Amino acid sequence: MKWFVVAAVAVCLLVPNSHCASNTVDWCYHDSSCNDSTWPTIAAPFCNGTRQSPINIVSASATGNADLTAFTFENYNDNSVLEKIENTGKTVKVAIKTGVKISGGGLSESYDSLQFHLHWGSGSSVPGSEHTVDGKRYPMELHIVNSKSSLNGNTTLAVADSTGLAALGFFIEVMSGNATGQPASWKNLTSYLSSIPLSGDSTTIKLAISLDDLLEGVDRTKYYRYLGSLTTPSCNEAVVWTVFKDPIMVSKDLIDLFSTTLRISSNSSSPLMVNVYRNVQSAQPVTTQHSGCGSITATVTSYFLGLALSFMLATSWN
Ligand SMILES: *[C@@H]1O[C@H](CO)[C@@H](O)[C@H](O)[C@H]1NC(C)=O
Ligand SMILES: *[C@@H]1O[C@H](CO)[C@@H](O)[C@H](O)[C@H]1NC(C)=O
Ligand SMILES: *[C@@H]1O[C@H](CO)[C@@H](O)[C@H](O)[C@H]1NC(C)=O
Ligand SMILES: *[C@@H]1O[C@H](CO)[C@@H](O)[C@H](O)[C@H]1NC(C)=O
Ligand SMILES: *[C@@H]1O[C@H](CO)[C@@H](O)[C@H](O)[C@H]1NC(C)=O
Ligand SMILES: *[C@@H]1O[C@H](CO)[C@@H](O)[C@H](O)[C@H]1NC(C)=O
Ligand SMILES: [Zn+2]
């Protein structure tokens, strides 16, 4: 780990004019000269690992897992827990106040919800979710990052533990029809984007917005689960991933604000922040709720079909 930090600083010093944040290696998303193809080299030993995220989820290959019970969301209904919204140059990050937690959902213990951030493409027409399902990429993806409560917010310990972090992934889909400014919670959240156009900008959240409001319309008992990694360098393989099946529906105008308002550096002439997602990595075993149901239904159906067929055969023989 020490070697890695030293190397990262060296890379930062060698790249002039770059947005090197403290001790992290300089990296980019989708640029012809700088993109995620180099992460395994510039951010080894983790970005070159074997349980990397995101992945394409093949729904038909997800096996049943009876442990994947409902989550308990603590203080997700509190509309004063969102603290601060920040343009990091790579994403928009919202810090969550202490006392917000998740448990259940097949997790080994409770996890503290620390922050959420988003991934997007270039407007609603160029999708930019990180996970894909059966090859479908959604316009955006929301990640709520949670850290094992027993680690007391020590992120060094969390990224060194194979289940130290629990990430909740929510797809964002364009609301049908011509709605604008919907839903109200997302109207509230995105109203802050114009206050943080440049990397490093941040502002306090004063509007009343709860996490439950932002997750409106999602059945949070239906999700995929797999073990993966952080999707940005240093890509630590420390994440229990939960990817919810239902998307959050947001109107097109609000989705488009992300790729038209935010810039990647503190220079107001710097490029707009677009296509901020990592490409999919090697497949991992994925589980989900009672996928056994499908096969039970199939078995029962073929049993009754068989019965009906025997009856027809028997009667036709009379
Ligand atoms: C990614 O960057 C590399 C150089 O680091 C370049 O050769 C490659 O063409 C880029 N890929 C894309 C898709 O732009
Ligand atoms: C990743 O890179 C590290 C450091 O170069 C190396 O020790 C490790 O074996 C590599 N891992 C894989 C899976 O190739
Ligand atoms: C995190 O835990 C490590 C190991 O116990 C310790 O060295 C470090 O100081 C802790 N960091 C913080 C911020 O408390
Ligand atoms: C959306 O707006 C277009 C153009 O104004 C209109 O033709 C269309 O019927 C509207 N669709 C819906 C679902 O309201
Ligand atoms: C939006 O913010 C206003 C002002 O704080 C608040 O009254 C309203 O309930 C919020 N709506 C949602 C859905 O977050
Ligand atoms: C901002 O970016 C523009 C265009 O890339 C460049 O000409 C200018 O020198 C930059 N300004 C600063 C303060 O870096
Ligand atoms: Zn993320």
Each domain of the chain, given as residue ranges in start order, spans 50-317
User: What does the pLDDT read at residue 168?
Assistant: 98
Q: Is the predicted pLDDT of residue 208 greater than 90, yes or no?
A: yes
Residue 274 tokens, joined? 């677009």
Q: Which residues contact 6 (CB under 8 A, 6 or more apart)?
A: none
Counting ligands in written order, the one closest to the CA of 143 is 7
Q: Is the CB of 207 under 6 A from ligand 5?
A: yes
Contact call for residues 27 and 39 (beta carbons, < 8 A) = yes
Cα(38) to ligand 1 centroid in Å equals 8
Say if residues 125 and 147 touch (Cβ distance below 8 Å). no
Q: Does domain 50-317 have CATH number 3.10.200.10?
A: yes
Considering only CA atoms, which of 206, 248, 232 is closest in space to residue 91?
232
pLDDT at 9: 31
Q: Is the CB of 157 under 6 A from ligand 3?
A: yes
Residue 208 CA: which ligand is closest? 5
Rounded to an integer, what distance in angstroms lies between the CA atom of residue 189 and that of residue 177?
Answer: 21
Q: Between 214 and 318, name the one with better pLDDT.
A: 214
**What are 210-255's pLDDT values in tens digits?**
999 999 999 999 999 999 999 999 999 999 999 999 999 999 999 9
Q: Residue 283: what residue type?
A: A
Q: In angstroms, what is the span from residue 20 Cα to ligand 6's centroid?
A: 16
Per-residue model confidence as pLDDT tens digits over 64-85: 999 999 999 999 999 999 999 9
151 has a pLDDT exceeding 90 = yes
Closest ligand to C-alpha of residue 91 is 7
The 3-state DSSP class for residue 75 equals coil
Q: What mean pLDDT do residues 82-105 have?
A: 98
Q: Is 211 in the pocket of ligand 5 (CB under 6 A)?
A: no
* For the chain, percent of residues with pLDDT exceeding 70: 84
Instruction: Provide the β-strand partners of residue 132.
Output: 56, 137
CA distances from 86 to 9, 175, 196, 260 (A): 23, 26, 7, 16
- Maximum CA extent, the chain: 90
Give residue 17's pLDDT. Answer: 32
182-186 long-range CB contacts below 8 Å, 24 or more apart? 182/249, 182/250, 182/251, 182/254, 183/213, 183/216, 183/249, 183/250, 183/251, 184/213, 185/209, 185/210, 185/213, 185/214, 185/216, 186/214, 186/248, 186/250, 186/251, 186/254
Residue 294 confidence (pLDDT): 47
